[in-house]
Structure 1
């Protein structure tokens, strides 16, 4: 009888403790973003050959619940008036990592072959739109994080955007020779409680 009561008590404690750890609330997970300093300025720019790639966020720190603005630009600075670039659905990619939790917010892309004409000195600009996903093999905490991100925007944390632009140009209009470009840079920011 005493063994049954002890066993029943252990089972009850196990259920109670198990329930406390799986509330599914992203806010209950400490982001520890205070342990991180924003290392980059909110704007990164890199020039490769005849192209300038910029990755920008409006602020180094945002308050939770406010919109985080991120955008990228590609500018042609070569000798021609225009140049045609070939790319997937967009030449811009915005993969993001929340460093305190080590969570990736992937950036998927449809991959048709599209072309865009760039005019010299006129940047092509694209704003970041929410992305990311999860699968049935992902941990509940990660799934809760992504769901919260989709519904409420960036949860509190320290974020690094490893942005890049991926495209090619034909070297000569009369041939199939092409020059590939994959220009990368990085920005970071915090979201505070």
Structure 2
């Protein structure tokens, strides 16, 4: 049963990666309104709090997100692809877009009650981002049961708008 669930999850991840990929895009399904899609920098859903951070200092941009388990148990296992988060970047005053994707098999992370688990977005330094206004989005995408990945899936999007000089 676990082997079949793992195989199913890998197939779903490959399908998602193949359909959505990553990189810059000028397609018509992007953020056409040039308005932020989601402006919650922090969001609580059930027993999980997700927050995105953008540190823009001296032309170096650091983007990371945290997920904090706030439930009653001492710890909680969650199941996810290569990372707990998808990171996306949208230029609100231009045409730059970056869409993250998962490309690894099912992983397990144990979250400790009320201790933020930090995930760094490592791609921003390699993107050659031009000056402008950007929306940085992190989407926590995980499940609570490895045997029922689809049925226990939780998705929590957060974002922050930042001016890049």
TM-score by shorter chain over 0.5: yes
Q: Which residue of 2 aligns with 1:136?
A: none
Name the CA distance, whole Å, in 1 between partners of 2:129 and 2:80.
Answer: 28
Shift in Å, 1:122: 1.1
Name the CA distance, whole Å, in 1 between partners of 2:162 and 2:35.
Answer: 9
* 3-state SS of paired residue (2:60): coil
- Point out where structure 1 has 5 or more consecutive residues left out of the alignment: 1-35, 132-148
Q: 1:92 aligns with which of 82, 85, 90?
A: 85
Matched, 1:185 2:158: yes
Name the CA distance, whole Å, in 1 between partners of 2:158 and 2:115.
Answer: 20
Name the CA distance, whole Å, in 2 between partners of 1:56 and 1:91.
Answer: 15
Shift in Å, 1:176: 4.6
- The CA RMSD measured in Å over matched residues stands at 2.9
Check the 8 A contact 1:88/1:112 in 2, yes or no.
yes
- Point out where structure 2 has 5 or more consecutive residues left out of the alignment: 1-33
Once the two structures are superposed, the pairs formed by residues 1-193 of structure 1 within 5 Å of their partners are 44-59=41-56, 66-130=59-123, 150=126, 153-170=128-145, 176=148, 178-192=151-165
Check the 8 A contact 2:52/2:137 in 1, yes or no.
no
Q: Which has the higher strand share?
A: 2
Q: Which has the higher Rg, Structure 1 or Structure 2?
A: 1
Q: Which has the higher helix share?
A: 1
TM-score calculated relative to the size of structure 1: 0.59
TM-score calculated relative to the size of structure 2: 0.68
Please list the CA deviations of residues 35-59 of structure 1 after superposition, one character each: whole Å capped at 9, or x if unmatched. Answer: x999x98x81100000000011125
Count of residues paired in the alignment:
130
